[in-house]
A = this chain, B = another copy of it.
Amino acid sequence: MITIYDLAKKTGFSSTTVSKALNNYPDVSKKTKQAIIDTAAEMGYLPNAHAQSLSTKKSWTIGVMFSESNGVGMKHPFFSGVIESFRKHAEKEGYDLILASRNLRNRGTSYLEHFLYRGVDGIMVICSDPKDPQVQEMINSSIPIVVIDMSNQECSVVFSDNLSGGELAINYLYSLGHTKIAHIAGDHTIYAGKIRIKGYMDAMKKRELPVRDGYLVNGGLFSIQDGALAMEKLLDLADPPTAVFVAGDHMAIGAMETAKARGYRIPEDLSIIGYDDIEMASYVTPKLTTIKQDTDQIGVRATQLLMKQIIQKKKIVTEEIIPVTLMERESCTRLIK
């Protein structure tokens, strides 16, 4: 490894001047600056990030944490979509992402501690559980942070407009003539799940549609199996719905599976609308009509929010709500009386 001292020796300047030249300080002449840069290139010099960070207290890294409540981790399309978008944009600003582990050598450290240990400049969290103590700890610390997919009054958050998502869905279904509309909900410990329930309830009330007994069924942790199970309950009802708004695409797909298995035709006998617009939604049969979350935009806004805090060196608390859109496909149709 070649250091600034090597460059100093070679060029005849001091290490101070070398450092300044490399960092484009004003108090070094054009000529020596060029000379130093040239020999740096020639000798294949690379700065040492650790030394730099130690000295400047800035690491140009961002810690990324996602809670894996249901064990899917990065494999969930929503997560990987957001992370990828975030990565791309953070990269443009010069930051690397570090995917942190918790159970590092020094046992029993929290994520916050771990990020502190790593000296990250900021933290990006994707978490759906507002009560997660690990996330709380990070939010309460003074480090710049942006959290995605939940709401919080004490930090920067960005999440989809889950409320109007429900409105959109119900409105659409209603416009197709449906009135017996059920909701397969995400667990209410999960922020998005809770709000989507509210969206559903509000929209139903607004149109004076009754939420019949059993029409609000908990679909658990958003998995395909959960959705399948929930649909069973719905179809077991004495007076089953003609349309169902499902809080997640995976669940919706599971729901379609059981409906089909039970002989229902979709959408003729039962309209289904999902939430997320994962890639799969476009390729199941029938193609799933759904509420699209804009993972790209979420990543973009999250980056901006975090950068702002890092630069200003102060936390800013704000809510960034990303609009959702209705993706009209094939799983819903006009109610035939």
Contact = CB atoms under 8 A, between A and B. Distances in A.
Contacts of A321: none
B118 A96 contact: yes
A235 interface: no
Interface string A181-192: 000000000000
For chain A, the bracket of interface size reads 35 or more
Contacts of A49: 50, 117-119
A50 B119 contact: yes
A77 to B, nearest CB: 7
A97 B99 contact: yes
Contacts of A103: 91-92
A300 to B, nearest CB: 15
- Copy count, this protein chain: 2
A73 interface: yes
Interface of A: 46-51, 53-54, 59-61, 73-75, 77, 80-81, 83-84, 87-88, 90-92, 94-106, 109, 113, 116-119, 224, 253, 257, 279-280, 283-285
B95 A101 contact: yes
A99 B74 contact: no
A103 B74 CA distance: 24
